Structure 1
Amino acid sequence: MHWRLRRAGAADADALAMVAAASFLETFAGVLAGPDIIRHCAANSAPAKFATWANDPASVVTLVEHPDGAAPVGYTVLTSPDLPIPLGPGDIELRRIYALSITRGTGLGAALMARAITDARALGMTRMLLGVLGRNHRARAFYERQSFTLVGERRFLVGETWYDDVVYGRDLR
């Protein structure tokens, strides 16, 4: 499958918000409480949030479109880090990397990560950071295959419930 990965702009905010909420629900249904998922998506996957990231010169938002009809099926957000670890001037956070299950097994995850790394390097960044639910073993295995290593921990609020996350880092030099 030849997914279309492209830099997203503010005009893509509605599509990004849709795939963000759908992929978060699909990923965490049965793992997190339903009301917490709904509250989290309403607060963190609103079109205005994506428009702000897309307009920020220190951020890069990538949208993945299905080759048949251009429906949004995945995305990434690279932006300034908001993590409880010591940060350096060359740090960037991969705040979001999600794709719908229709894309599983197609290599899209690796393609999204490669694109994010390329974009981070183009911004002059030297370390990529990301946070992930500590018990999300599938995602953690993916990040470890992508040469990320543990660099810290954090508590992360979803809706009204706190969760234990781990923070990964990868040198980009």
Structure 2
Amino acid sequence: MGANQSRSEISDEKVFQNEIPISFSPGVVNQLADRTESPETTPERQSILDAHIQARIRDELVQLKRDEEIVQREIERALEKENLDRETGLAGLASSEDEGSVGSVRNSAALLGDLEEVRAKIEKYQANKRTAEYPEVEESGAAVAECYRKNKSTPLDCWPEVTKFKASVERLEQAYFKSLQ
């Protein structure tokens, strides 16, 4: 409050007088004048600025893609965990209600495994059934296939094998029709 009154009127400002005049070349003066008149940047500077901005945009895009992939993986993990928890919960409910029953709910991985196992057993059974009951058809079919493999350029040379195969299939058909009657 009272500090202004106790100060003297003497200024702390110091002024230096230059004894040698300062002068600039006309080229520098013109260049500075041109820059102040036109606020546009030079083409060289503009290309440098554009390249810098493009590089920053590319870097930002790369970072955003990385972040998006991370978020995508986290979402997938969360959904998988949620599905497994739900399936486990359903399996727990079904097993506690229907203990020992065949229709209990299990997770999809176990069901897929069971499905593949059943499919393999069926294919094995079908293969065994076919070869055991009709060996002559299997042998003649294999002979036709082998003949075609050997005579790729002249498949018509396999007519005897094809004839034998047709005859074995015809005998099989006749036996089947007799079994239906």
Ranked by relative contact order (alpha carbons within 8 Å, sequence separation 6 or more), the top structure is 1
Name the TM tier (shorter chain). under 0.3
More strand by share: 1
Task: Give the TM-score, by structure 1 length.
Answer: 0.17
More helix by share: 2
Task: Give the TM-score, by structure 2 length.
Answer: 0.16
